[in-house]
Each structure stands twice: as C-alpha cells, then as structure tokens.
Amino acid sequence: MSSAAAGSAAGSGGAAVEFRGIRRSYGSTHALAGLDLALRPGELLALLGPSGCGKTTALRLLAGFDRPTAGQVLIGGRDVTDVPASRRDTGMVFQAYSLFPTMTATENVAFGLRMRKVGAAERRRRAGELLELVGLGDRGGSYPHQLSGGQQQRVALARALAVAPTVLLLDEPLSALDARVRVQLRDEIRRLQLAEGITTLFVTHDQSEALAIADRVAVLNAGRLEQVAPPQEVYGSPATAFVAAFVGVVNRLAAVPDGPGRVRVLGASAALDGPHADTVIVRPEALTVGAADGVDGVGEPGTVVTRTFLGAVTRLVVATAHGEVTVDAVTRPGLPDAGEPTVVRLDTARVRAAT
Amino acid sequence: MTRGRRWRVVVLAIAAVYFLLPLLAAAEFSLRSPGGGYGLANWLAIVSDPVLLAALGTSLQIAVVTAVVVLALVVPTAVWVRLQLPGLAGVLESATILPIVIPPVVMAAGIAFVQANLGGPVFPALFASSTTALTPFYVILALPFAYRAVDNGLAAIPLRTLVEAARNLGAGLPTALLRVVLPVIRSAVLGAAFLTLALVLGEIVIARILLYTDTFPVAIVEVGRSRAGVAVALSLASLLITWVLLLAVSLAGGRRSPADRASS
Amino acid sequence: MTDLLDAPAADTDPAPPRAAGRGRALLGLVPFVGYLLVFLGGPLYFVVSGALSDPDGRPTVANVVAALTEPQYHAAFAGSLTVSAVTALVGAVFGTFLAQAVLTSRPGSPLRRVVSTASGVLAYFGGVPLAFAFVAALGQTGLATLWLRAAGLDLYAAGFRIDSLTGLGLTYVYFQVPLMVILVTPTLEGLQPQWREAAENLGASAWAYWRHVALPVLAPAVVGATLVLFGNAFAAYATALALTSGSIPLVPTAIASALSGNVLAGRQNVGLALGMTMVVVIAAVMVAYLLLQRRAARWAVR
C-alpha cells in the first residue's frame, strides 16, 4: 500500500496508548470512574457504549481537550497528561461541522502541515495525495458548504492523517451520515487505518459499526469498562449482562440444574462452564425452528407470535412454556407463519450463564 | 475554560467604567444644589415649570398618536405579508430599512423646503402645530424598529394556523387580527410602542429644524442653556423611564436572549 | 430588548398556498407603501429636486458642485468623516472584544442578561440624554473632569472641550459599542467549538486559530457591522445639536445653517445638495453592508 500519507517509515504509524487509572468527575457526577485501558500499536479499538457512558470523555482526555481528575494518559510510553492538545501528535475526526468554512478542501487538509511550517508547494502536494487517498482528488478546490456530509467527513479524515499522527481519534464520525454512506465510509476508514498501521480509537454508540471494523471492542457503561475483547468474543461470550444486552439481541432463559455442570433449558441439556446459574443467555441465531412433529423429542414446542422479514434473516418470536423466545432463522421457504405451531431447538454449545 | 481569563476581566472592567461613569456623573450633577450640597431641586423643576410641563404633554400626545399610527400600519402589513405574500418578505424588509438611509437632518431639510415654499389647503394645515407636523414623520422614523420588532414577534407564533382557526370559527380577518393575533404578540407590540416613545422623547433634529420648540426634548435642550442641572435631571428621567419600560417588556416577554439560547 | 431585534426564529407554520389572487394580495400593501411614498418619498423628492435647481427653480448642478468643493464645507466633511470613521473603528474593536468577553463568560451568569439588555437600550439612547450625561461627566464642572484634576490631569487646561469634535467622538462611542455588540454577537456565537478544537488538534496556537480560522469567518460580519457604525455616526445630529448649536464642524450642522439662512442667506439649495450627498454616502454604506451580510451567511452552519 502506498506510504503517501505517513511522513515516517511505512507501517510504523502507531504508538501504544494507555489510560491508567483515569477518573473524570464533575462535582458528584463521575463521567469516568477508574478507566484502565491499553491500546496496542496499530490496532483499531472501538469504544462502544450508550450515550453518557463516558466514551467521548475518554476520547477527549486522550486528545487533550480535557484534563482527568485523577490518573494518567500515556502515548508511546510517554506521560502526556500535562501536554497541551496542540502538541500531542494525535489526529482527530469530529462528528460534524469541523471543517474550516473559509478554506477549500485542500487548504483544510494542508492546515496541520502549515502549522508545522511545511512549505506551500510541499503542502499542496501532500494535501493532493491525501485527498486522492480518500477519493476526493478532484474536489480540492471545493468549500465545505459545497460538499455533502460524507464528503466532508472524508476531507476531515484526510486532514487528520495529513500530519501523520501516531494516534487517530474518531469521535462518532459516521453518526451524522446517511445509512448507505455510513457503511461505505466505515469500510474505507478501516482500509486506510490498516494500510497506515495507525493506532486508532473509534468511539461509537452503534454496535454493528464496532463489530464490523474493530480489532478489539471496549464496552463502557456509566463510566466503567465492562469488557475489552475482539468482536467475536464480545458478541459470543459477553462478560456481563449489560454487554450481552447491549451488543446484539439476547434471550434470557430460566435454567434448571441437570447434573454437575449441566443445565436443562428449552428441552435440551447443555454444559455450562463456571458456577451454576439460574438464568442463561442464548443468542437468537443459536436457535432454530422446525416442524411440530419433532424427530428426536428434543426441543421446546411453542406457537409463533410474530414473524418479521429482515432480508437475509427472518426473526420469529415464539411463545413457549418458558416465555417468549426470539429466533433468528436464515430466510428460506417453509418457515412457520404467525399463529402456527413449531418447535424451538437449541445449539447446546452456545449457552452461557447470565451474570 | 480558564484560559486567558485576564483579558476578559480587563475588557469588562473598562466597559463597566466607561458605561457607568457618565450615568453616575449625570446623577450626581442633577442632584447638585446651587450654593453647594445636594438636593432634588432639579428633579422637581418639571412640576413647577409650566413650560416644561406643557412640553411634556405635547410630546406625550405626539408619542401616543405616533405609536398608534405606526402599529396600525405595521401590524396589518406584517401579518398580510406573512400570510399572502411570503415571497415579498425580503423586499419589505429592505423597504423598512429605507428610512434609515435618509438621516433625520436630511428629511427635515426636505420638509423645511415644503414648509417654506408650498401653500394650498393641505400644507398649512399640516404645519399648523407641532403635533400635526411632526407626527407623520416620526412615524417614518419609528417604522424600521417597529416593523422588525413586530415581525420577530410574528415569526415566533403559528400565525397562519391561528388566523385560519379564527376564521374557521366565524371571525373576519380584522377581528381575527384584533382578538387573536394581537394578544399573542403583545410583548412585541408593546416593545415597538415603547421604542416609539423613546424615539419621540428624544427627537430634536426635525423639531428644531422645522422650528417647533414646544416638544419636550427641545424644551430640555433650551433649559440646558441656562439651567444645566434641570436639563440633566429631565433627560436622565426620560431615559430611565423608557429603560424600565423596555426591560419590563423584555423580561415579561419571557423570550431568552440569544446568548442564553446558545449556552444551553 | 435585543430579542426584539434578533433574526427571526424558524417558521412554525405549514407552507403557504399558491399565489392565487396576487393582485388582490398586493393591494393589501397599499397603505404601507403609500405612506412611505408620501412621507418619506416626499421629503426625499424635495431634497433631490431642490438640490438640483437654483432658487428660481431652474435645473442646475451648481449646488452639488458648491457642496463638494467650497472650502467652508471641507471642514464639515472632514469633521463628519473623521468622527464617523474613528468612532466606527473604536466601537468595532471594543464592541467585538466586549461581545466575546460576555459570550465566553459562564453561561447562566447574570452578566449576559445584563449586557444584552443594556446593549439594546444604550444603542438606541437618544442624543439628548447622552449629550447631557457626558456634559455632566466631562464638562467644565463635570464629575470626571474634577476627579482627573484632583489626580493631576487638567483636561481643560490641555485644550479639551466636551463640545468639540473630540468630545463628540467620545460621546458617540457610547452608542457605537452597544450597537456593535448587538450586530456581532450572532456571528461570534456561530463560531463552532469544533473549529477551535480541530485547529488545536492540528497544532495551532490560540493566535494561529484566530488568525487562520476565526477571523476569516468573522471578517465579513465585522466589516459589515463597522460600516453600519460608520453610517450611524455619519447620520447622527441630535447629540451634536444638544451639546452645542453650531460650533462643531459637521455636515448636518452645515445643512442646518444653510437652511436657516444663518451666516449666508439664499443657501437653502446648497443645503439640500449637502443633504443629497449624505444620502448617497449612507446608501452606499448600506448596500456594502447587505452584500457582506450575504457573504457572512455562507459560512454559517446550515
């Protein structure tokens, strides 16, 4: 991949980032209550959580726009807690409205270079390269108000990358965009990030975004870190009830002990690692529906309450003796309709205890 | 943000001194008694001086008539434009800026020409007294501010919906205006009225050039030549009264200032 | 009171119907437009026609020429232009700093409300109270004069007079600053915090941010507002009239003298020519202001 954007040697774009014991309080409100989080060089870490969970606070603390009440922020092993924002060597992309309105796209992208006293010709060249990289090579002379939302964010990305920062910070960069543009841009951001190898912190409230592009996902809730793990693990093995409920849809089912380390749920016997639990979590895609005259007697009979066509997946809510269960079935002919009887079967390997 | 606190304090301090000092000085000056010490003699002069009292009466009369004419012109027109000719809103706003382009002194010059040179039945009647001569032109002076104030008031209400609802229930347009719209834009209308009052109580250019010396502000200036203390007291008084009235309208109107709006 | 002069809020009505019966609708404007034509257009007509004719009614440009070239009017123009330009600049600079100082103060503090209502009232402070207030402060026996004399600075011995061009200028600043605060606050509020943060993130110092990002955005609005201040001072006469009836060299003073036959009789037409010049100057200023406003609106966040 071209090393156009990286001022330093190709592929060495990222530095390690660390939040050590970070607390940020406003009087008696705690936006962050003791955050310990480390980013590995070159990884894209998604900071995921609902509004008010502290993710934007953490990002701003890393950028230097805010000071922690306690704790340290380290970039590349260096304590930058007292370093002002303009000297932290981070590149930030804001949610919206961050392009300087009186400058063209090229001038916006070149701004950081200008602050670093790079010569005019060199600035223009580098800005041109970066705009080319984000697919806007021919729009350098346009002003922000002449660009669409998606185009503006691309320029913002180019601008952040122009100074070859060691850390890239993205503050919900896709939230203000249309759905289609969002997906396109999301993939482009990931592509660029991998090419430059730059350590990236990506803040979002959209779990599908986080799951799609992150190397690891950190789930935050009310100022506390709930889980930090690769996407598959966060989704498949949620560490807490909050993570399970926030990331994807989940079924909470009552479980009856069935011998040591085993429970009986939905008419099947499943092994449970760890201590026994009364409630288990099962993802909708770990369930299937089949004909009422079941072959092996395993499974829970019920009646379909609603059937929702979601494209590749059809979501069925089935009323059983143990309550309503959500099943995500691959769309195919032969699925039961609302009001029809059916049997819900469980993939016993994908049962987790609810904590 | 505690960054750069110092410059803000400096700026605000200078502003405070510069703006409060003349007011304090005027208050102090107006309270000076002849022969040393302080007293309320200057402030009470208006009560005892028939010329000043008469002038105040004349000016208040002019103010009332001016305010009524201004509102009678502005409110229906502003409503009409919003309802029937929304495309012309910009044109009308420019039209209301026109009076600002012609300074009062120039307007007075043009009127003086008519006053001196033209006869016939209309003009002598027009120029017969200060009330008849000045009011029509004070309306022009007040027009830009009154229109802006009323138009802003109308912008904040669902005008079309209200008028249509009123007409649907049987009211004619004038009734709808009077009984439905006017009460809703009450604070904007009052603001426009008090602005007009402030204008009339302070207008001396046209009055002086046209040689009408019986209005309140002109009388104050005349008094100022011999009894400065009285002049200061009276002008402070007229300022304070209109200030209080405008503040009351602003607070009672309940609209937040743009600064507050932006901070939330 | 500044809310009376705000830009209007978003329309809360549904879209209006098509322009059927447009002629009838236009009729509704007749009273308003008619009134303007008679009582504003009338005087203006007489000013222009008088400016362009001699005392006997014959058309001529001699008056305009005289107004612009005679030495006695040079002092008047010089005085008016100087005091307008200086007070516009002083008012613009201080007004912008004051507006920013208020905007960046803690939200909810009484400071904002006090300044915004005060600005509204002070900007429309008539000439009469203002003149007398300044006489009370800086006149021969004024409070500030006495304090300064006690502190060792004798203004009047140094040649200062309140009823001079300098004294007038000092007085004008009193309404120029609040007017600037009113005109420039909306644009200052439109400065997005993200611009500041993005600039900082890219390595800009506070000065660099102002120079490269904020000032270019503010420039059209600030320059436009300064022009309004210029026009405002140029047209003003009440303050000068209240301070003294004729000793300050200003164009309005010259007009008043010409009209009253003071000094030289039969100069009414030249007086009208002077008036016409004033209208041209102010019209030019307002047009420039409107053009700059349109430019400033481009940078505003949609």
**pLDDT (0 to 100) of residue A5:** 42
**Structural domains of chain C, with CATH:** 71-299 (1.10.3720.10)
Which chains, if any, share at least 3 CB pairs under 8 A with chain B? C
| Nearest chain B alpha carbon to C8 | B152
**pLDDT (0 to 100) of residue C108:** 67
Q: What is the ipTM of this complex?
A: 0.83
A17-26 vs A268-271, strand pairing mode: unpaired
Mean pLDDT by 10 residues, chain C (302 residues): 44 53 80 91 90 81 83 90 96 93 78 75 77 86 84 80 86 91 88 92 92 92 93 92 82 88 71 92 91 78 52
Say whether B22 and C3 touch across the interface (CB within 8 A). Answer: no
* C97 in B contact zone (CB under 8 Å): yes
- The residue written with tokens 């200023």 in the block is C285
* C224 in B contact zone (CB under 8 Å): no
Question: What is the total count of domains within chain B?
Answer: 1
* A111 in C contact zone (CB under 8 Å): yes
Q: Does B222 map to a domain?
A: yes
Q: Does B191 map to a domain?
A: yes
Residue A348 has pLDDT above 60, yes or no: yes
Say whether A86 and C194 touch across the interface (CB within 8 A). Answer: no
Chains B and C: how many Cβ contacts under 8 Å? Answer: 314
CB-CB: which of B158, B249, B258 is closest to C6? Answer: B258
**pLDDT (0 to 100) of residue C67:** 81
Q: What are phi and psi of C24, to 5 degrees?
A: -65, -35
DSSP for B52-119, written as a single string: HHHHHHHHHHHHHHHHHHHHHHHHHHHHHHHHH-GGGHHHHHHHHHHHHHS-HHHHHHHHHHHHHH--
Q: What span, in angstroms and rounded, lies between the C-alpha atoms of B99 and C35?
A: 12
Q: Does B204 map to a domain?
A: yes
Distance from CA of C183 to the nearest CA of B (A): 12
Query: Comparing C-alpha atoms, which of A161, A89, A53, A4 is closest to residue A173?
Result: A161
Whole-model pTM? Answer: 0.80
Q: What span, in angstroms and rounded, lies between the C-alpha atoms of B237 and B216?
A: 12
Q: Does B239 map to a domain?
A: yes
**pLDDT (0 to 100) of residue C245:** 66
**Which residues fall within 8 angstroms of residue C65, CB to CB, at 6 or more apart?**
none
Neighbouring C-beta atoms of residue B223, cutoff 10 Å: 24
Say whether C201 and A159 touch across the interface (CB within 8 A). Answer: no
Q: What is the mean pLDDT of residues A241-264?
A: 85
Residue B161 domain boundaries: 50-263
Do residues A278 and A254 make contact, with C-beta atoms less than 8 angstroms apart? Answer: yes
CB-CB: which of C107, C241, C282 is closest to B101? Answer: C282
CB-CB: which of A64, A94, A159 is closest to C194? Answer: A94
Please report the residues numbered 164 through 193 in chain C whose beta carbons come closer than 8 angstroms to any beta carbon of chain A: 192
Distance from CA of C121 to the nearest CA of B (A): 6
**Which residues fall within 8 angstroms of residue A336, CB to CB, at 6 or more apart?**
A289, A304, A307, A316, A342
pLDDT digits (tens, 9 = 90+) for C160-197: 888 888 889 999 999 899 989 988 988 898 888 999 99
**pLDDT (0 to 100) of residue B206:** 92
Say whether C125 and B239 touch across the interface (CB within 8 A). Answer: yes
Residue B160 has pLDDT above 80, yes or no: yes
Q: Does B37 map to a domain?
A: no
Q: What span, in angstroms and rounded, lies between the C-alpha atoms of C163 and C169?
A: 10
Residue B175 has pLDDT above 90, yes or no: no
**Which residues fall within 8 angstroms of residue A172, CB to CB, at 6 or more apart?**
A56, A95, A203, A204, A205
Q: What is the mean pLDDT of residues A25-50?
A: 91
Say whether C201 and A85 touch across the interface (CB within 8 A). Answer: yes
- A46 burial class (0-12, 13-18, 19+ CB within 10 angstroms)? buried
- Give A116's contacts in chain C (Cβ within 8 Å): 203
The CATH number of whichever domain residue B138 belongs to comes to: 1.10.3720.10
Residue A155 confidence class, pLDDT cut points 50, 70, 90: very high
Q: What is the mean pLDDT of residues A107-115?
A: 94
Segment (H or E) for A229: strand A224-229
Distance from CA of B233 to the nearest CA of C (A): 9
Q: What is the mean pLDDT of residues A192-221?
A: 93
| Nearest chain B alpha carbon to C25 | B84
* A123 in C contact zone (CB under 8 Å): no
CB-CB: which of B18, B105, B232 is closest to C136? Answer: B232
- Give C276's contacts in chain B (Cβ within 8 Å): 106
Segment (H or E) for C23: helix C22-27
DSSP for C165-225, written as a single string: HHHHHHHHHHHHHHHHHHHHHHHHHTS-HHHHHHHHHTT--HHHHIIIIIHHHHHHHHHHH
Say whether A100 and C195 touch across the interface (CB within 8 A). Answer: yes
pLDDT digits (tens, 9 = 90+) for B44-85: 877 888 888 899 999 999 999 999 999 999 999 999 888 888
